[in-house]
Every structure is written in structure tokens, then in C-alpha cells.
Amino acid sequence: MKKRPRKKKKKGNGFKILFALFFLFALGTAAHFCYNFLLGWDKLNVTKIEIRGLSVLNEDYVKKLIDMKTGANIFSYKLDEDLFLKEQWIDRAKIRRVLPGKIIVKIKERIPAAMFMRESRKFIITLDDKIVRSVSAAEQKYKIPLWSDYNEAASGRRDEIMAFLKDIRDTENNFYEAIISFSMEGESLKMNMADCAVLFGSPERELVREKVESVGKVIKDAASKGRKIQYIDLRPFTKKMRSAIIKFHKGVENNK
């Protein structure tokens, strides 16, 4: 009976494992050393902090809010996660490091949709349906319509209305800035303008731009002829009936 030859044990596996562990340890130590070196290197100390993106909030106020001071290492700066709770005008904020010693904080502020009064105080509803305190700089920069009965709009209906207003603000800003005030008329939002009122029902959002442009042409034509519009009714504006009812003060209606 022949004896089976024994398999030879592979040599050097233990050495390779030890070498790999040593290499990883050395790499980690080097990385830790470099990290500590960069954190302690005074050439990377911040000498300037810049705030960008502000149009409503005061720069000194925001600097105090983020509580950052020059002199520390550039990699030690972080934004406080509670920043958005402290100031709801701030929608987003991020930090950018510019070597060797500059910090840039980019702020994105919320955009006003309307204003309402509560106990003789002014509050602003933003396009993402947040309620923030009124700031004089916001009233100077934006034309903000007054929404007298904002709290009377049902929450589900209000979400639809806010989506509509955001679409109009983004695509037809000149039209939006001509709105003086909002009010609810039944289930419809009434947009009161200088020479007319526009009632919004429940149109398809992707068709809004087309209809607003069309209505704008009628208003422009009426103004050139000296005719005043009593109201524009967008409630019939649906997929089946893409129309608006425009009523002039003399009682003439124009289906557009």
C-alpha cells in the first residue's frame, strides 16, 4: 500500500500577516501624526471669516449667531446644528474652508410668500410654509402681500396653495410682485391687485405659466385701451377646460 505524500505547509503566511498589521499600524500612526500636526500648525490659523448669501439678516447678527472667532485652526471650525432652530430665516447653511486661513459661511435664506398680523405683530409666511418674524430688510427687498385670513385656510388646502405660490414666484415674479394682498373666498385664494383680482382654484401646476402669460396679455391689452378689470377667475382652469374668466368693470367677459 502506497503512502500518500504529505502536503507541504505553506511557509511565510504568518510573516505576511504580521507585516500587514505592522504596515496598517504605521499608516495609522502617520495619519494621526499628520492630523495633529495640521491642527497645531499656526500657518493654518483662521484670519478671516466671511458670511455670504445674506439679503435679509444682518451680517453682524449672523456672525454672533454662528459664534465663530478668528485665531483657531481652520479644520476645527464647525456649524452648530441648532443654528436653524435659533433663526428660522435660515433655510440652509454650509461652511467652506479656503487654505491657508479663510472660512466662508454660505447662508441660504427663506423667501417670503405673504405677511399676516397676530396681536398687532407682523409675521411672514415663507414659500416653504414656515412662519418667521417680520424683518424690515425683508419688507424693503421683497414686495410681500398681506394675507389677512391666513389661519382660516385649511391645512391641506394651504399646502396646495403654497405650492402654487412658489411656482408663481419662481416663474412669474413680476406677476407675483403686483399682488397687494391675499384672502380666502370659499375654497379659492383671491389675489387682490391694483386694478383687478385673481381667484385661484385648483389648476394643474405645470399649466400655470401658460395661463398666467395668457392672462397677462389680456391685462396689458386692456390697460392700453383704458379698460379696467374687475376680476380674473382661474377656477375653471383644469385639464378639460384650460380657461380663465376675465370680467371687466363694464360687465364684459372674455374667455381666454
Closest Cα partner for 67 from 47, 44, 49, 91?
49
Residues 147 and 246 in one domain: yes
Please check whether residue 35 lies inside any domain of the structure.
no
Separation between Cα atoms, residue 98 and residue 46, nearest integer Å: 9
For residue 253, the model assigns a pLDDT of 43
Nearest to 181 by CA among 114, 248, 110, 111: 114
169/138 Cα distance (integer angstroms): 15
- Decide which of 80, 109, 138 is a domain's last residue: 109
- Read off the C-alpha cell for 100: 491657508
**8: in domain:** no
Among 56, 68, 57, 61, residue whose Cα is nearest residue 105: 68
pLDDT (0 to 100) of residue 215: 74
Residue 34 lies in a domain: no
Shared domain check, 224 and 150: yes
Q: Assess whether 227 and 138 both reside in one domain.
A: yes
Please choose, from the candidates 58, 63, 127, 133, the residue with its C-alpha nearest in 3D space to the C-alpha of residue 91.
127
Looking up residue 82, the CATH number of its domain turns out to be 3.10.20.310
How far is residue 61's CA from residue 95's CA, in Å, rounded to a whole number? 17
Cα–Cα distance between 115 and 123 in angstroms, integer? Answer: 6
Give Cα separations from 166 to 111, 151, 160, 230 (angstroms): 9, 18, 10, 25
Among candidate residues 63, 78, 109, the one where a domain is terminated: 109
Beta bridge partners of 172: none
> How many folded domains does the chain comprise?
2
| Antiparallel, parallel or unpaired: β 197-200 and 188-193 | antiparallel
| Pairwise CA distance, residues 151 & 158, whole Å | 9
Alpha helices by DSSP H, the chain: 13-40, 59-66, 83-86, 136-141, 155-171, 173-177, 208-224
pLDDT at site 186: 74
Whether residues 159 and 83 share a domain: the answer is no
Residues of the chain with pLDDT under 70: 1-15, 19, 22-23, 32-41, 153-156, 201-211, 231, 233-256
Verify that 143 and 173 share a domain, yes or no: yes
User: What pLDDT score does 125 carry?
Assistant: 94
Cell reading at 108? 441660504
Peptide bond into 5 cis (omega under 30): no
How far is residue 256's CA from residue 250's CA, in Å, rounded to a whole number? 17
Same domain, 105 and 130: no
Same domain for 135 and 211: yes
